[in-house]
Amino acid sequence: MNSPCIIEVRDLRKTYRAGEVDVHALRGVNLDISQGEFISIVGPSGSGKSTLFNVVGGLTPPTSGTVRIGGKDLAGLSDADRTNLRKTMVGFVFQKYNLLPTLSARDNIEIARHIAGRNSNTNARFQQVLELLGIGHRLHHKPRAMSGGEQQRVAIARAIVNDPAILLADEPTGNLDTENSAIVLDLLRDLNERMGQTILMITHNPEAASYGHRTVHMRDGSIVDTQLTLE
């Protein structure tokens, strides 16, 4: 793609201490993601894909190496600036929907806007998100009254309502059946194609990975292969 690079990863390494043993979760990972790309990261358990997700998202620091988001080196930011970058530039979707059970769907979405300092739910972006995800009729329901697929759509709405440059999704269909998985994956593809959303998705499912433009294969903390998706 000819779009500017929005995520740059250089010689990324992450080592954990497990008792007396060093666990090398990332071993010199290099990766560029262009604005508007949809990238799938696949690999077996322990391959380092979730660690890469957490480091790229600024949720955990690397042992060494560099991550740049929109040209900003995460290591060079203060804790406050790194938090602000996550609030304004990155949206997160997880396998567990992480919705607040006592709040309605609307309030679960609105809390993301409140944290980012936005308090209107009538702007065009909010309405666009509701229309795209098809959840306008469920706004007054609490999570326990919604299906898994509906809860994940609310979680996606919460992640993108502030128009982040990047959406990071960690196993977004891991708790869903086949039908709801297809619905969520179609929505992610629509977000990418219709709204230009940059997406980095972690998945163990080759079929889910095929929704991206590229599939990056990881094993033992390293990238071992990258494949373009055939249309």
pLDDT tens figures, 50-65: 999 999 999 999 999 9
**Inside any domain, residue 148:** yes
Q: Residue 63 sits in a domain of what CATH number?
A: 3.40.50.300
Amino acid identity of residue 16, one-letter, is: Y
Coil/strand/helix, residue 191? helix
**Inside any domain, residue 230:** no
Residues of the chain with pLDDT > 90, as a percent, come to: 62
Domain that residue 30 falls in: 5-225
pLDDT digits (tens, 9 = 90+) for 10-24: 999 999 988 889 999
Question: In this structure, what DSSP letter does residue 4 have?
Answer: P
pLDDT the model gives residue 182: 92
- Name the CA radius of gyration of the chain, rounded: 17
pLDDT the model gives residue 214: 95
Position with higher pLDDT, 117 vs 218: 218
Please determine, for residue 116, whether its predicted confidence score (pLDDT) is greater than 90. no
| Top mean-pLDDT range of 3-7, 33-37, 75-79, 190-194 | 33-37
Neighbours of 109 (CB within 10 A): 27
93's enclosing H/E stretch is: strand 90-94
Please determine, for residue 120, whether its predicted confidence score (pLDDT) is greater than 60. no
Please determine, for residue 231, whether its predicted confidence score (pLDDT) is greater than 60. no
**Inside any domain, residue 231:** no
**Inside any domain, residue 166:** yes
Q: How many CA atoms lie within 13 A of 111 on its CB side?
A: 12
Structurally, the chain folds into a number of domains equal to: 1
